[in-house]
Amino acid sequence: MINLYKFILVFPILLLISGCYDDYIPPKDVGKVQPKDTVKVQPKDIAVIPDISYAHTSVSVILSEQPQIAKSTKSIDRYGVQTPIDFHINKDESIDVFWEDSGDKQSRWNLTKHNSYLDPTIIDTIIIPSSINQSGKFLGFDKKESNNSYFLAYSKDNTFAVRDNNGACVRVNRSYDNCDGAYWLSSFDDKGIELFNTNIFGDVDLTIKDVSGAMTKGNPGAASIGTVLYHDNSDRVILYTGHKQRFTDNIRHQAGWIGSFNSNGSIHKVINGWYSSHNFDQRLHLSLTPNSIYSLAHGDAYPRSLALGKWDVINSKRIFNYNYYDIKNGKFGDNTTLSDTGDIAVIDNERVVIAYATEDSRKSRDVVLKIISGVNGLNNKSIKEELNIWLTSYDESRMAGKGIKVAFSKNKIIVMWNEYHGSKSDISHKKGDYLSTIIEAYSVKGKKLGSMKLNDRLMPTQSIKITPDEKHVLWVTTSNNSELVFHNIDLGLI
């Protein structure tokens, strides 16, 4: 439960609140909003690339529990890393934040509603129904604003799971036992009343070896993440994750799965039940084309590429698939790509922008920004790459990793990434240790408009978002001081 005290804004002094993990005592300032940065005046008529930190502000709110921090997630991994913090911006600019706390208690998932990104006072705490398995994997959430209903996907031990004397699931092999075997979608309202809680797949005995095919689907989030997107035009909830199923070689192979539900949970449709073999990382984004969405896939086999997909959510079919980067290192299906999926943003009906990273032909893992046009067609024949630029040229002492973001508004592209120590860093650090967060602004022609650094690590797979007025870019982090930190960049100042 979040304790909300009287709102106090201390500005522009940065108020430091001490906190710790062990024997944690909630600070007396729970619920107070803490400003982090002030807006600085910066001349724009200078020849050098400006430091755009003057356009950035951040404000924090103190929680009664210590939330998971980005440091608790992997900085380098061959698979996607699920974010423990995600959020939804409402049309009135209030914000719903899903966050996992770092305690050992049973209820470790939380959902709080905040006044705005400039004043993130907690105005409501939404109770997550007890039927949701909070010991499983969090596999994405979103919201339908018209009736204040939430959608949360998660994994759960299926009914065939074997348990020890303490009731814990007996895990033999992540591909061949029933722990976290089932994929579930729950919906509930802002009062915590459950609207539906539905098993999608995986409630079968995954240990049986003489059965193969779609009926053996299970292990949602295996070697992958999960994401949920509410599609207002069709009133459908889109789900995308990795999973495993058994083939005739008696091996449970991995791929992506995309499906949808009516928002009331009544009709379930599979959009693609086996999308991109060895699909290690997933993203979803709304399209400007009615009844369609975009996806990103991180494929290690069939195809061995980072791929852009577009999907018809009404007719449950793929419109096109385009491999925007063919992985060159390693071998087909060897589970190592030396690349990171970043994110996607929509420029207009014809163009999208994608950010990602790879080590192919580079000294270290570098960030790429790419604009792809022709995405409004019925296939990938009209697709062209308008822009393809390397944003970094790291030596072996530094590298990009998990946490690559991109957003677009007001004719500006904002791209962010976490910078880590590389394979040949100094002796006091190891590969993957966090260095800083880089934020840069570009025009659609690839002109660099500005850059800045932060010392606040981005969450691995949380998408940055544009505010409803299209004037700000927003993201949420956490701190060791039991805080949610709301960052924004004013695009009008760049």
Give 429-468 pLDDT, tens digit per residue: 999 999 999 999 999 999 999 999 999 999 999 999 999 9
- Read off the tokens for 94: 């209030």
Pairwise CA distance, residues 32 & 39, whole Å: 20
Tokens of 286: 């709304």
Model confidence at 12: pLDDT above 50: no
Residue type, 338: L
CA Rg, the chain, in Å? 22
Asked if pLDDT for residue 486 goes beyond 50, the answer is yes
Dist. CA 439–CA 448, nearest whole Å: 11
CA–CA gap between residue 143 and residue 149 (Å, rounded): 6
Beta bridge partners of 412: 409
pLDDT digits (tens, 9 = 90+) for 275-313: 999 999 999 999 999 999 999 999 999 999 999 999 999
Checking if the pLDDT of 18 tops 50, the result is: no
Q: How far is CA 1 from CA 20, 110, 217, 285, in A?
A: 18, 8, 36, 32
Report the alpha-carbon distance of residue 66 to residue 22 in Å, rounded: 10
Question: Among the listed ranges 209-218, 313-322, 474-483, which one has the minimum average pLDDT value?
Answer: 209-218
* φ, ψ of residue 257 in degrees (nearest 5): -140, 130
Q: Quick one: which of 380, 451, 388 has its CA closest to 417?
A: 451
pLDDT recorded at residue 427: 85
d(CA 494, CA 481): 31
CA 47 to chain centre: 36
| Sequence-separated (6 or more) residues with CB below 8 Å from residue 212 | 245, 246, 247, 248, 250
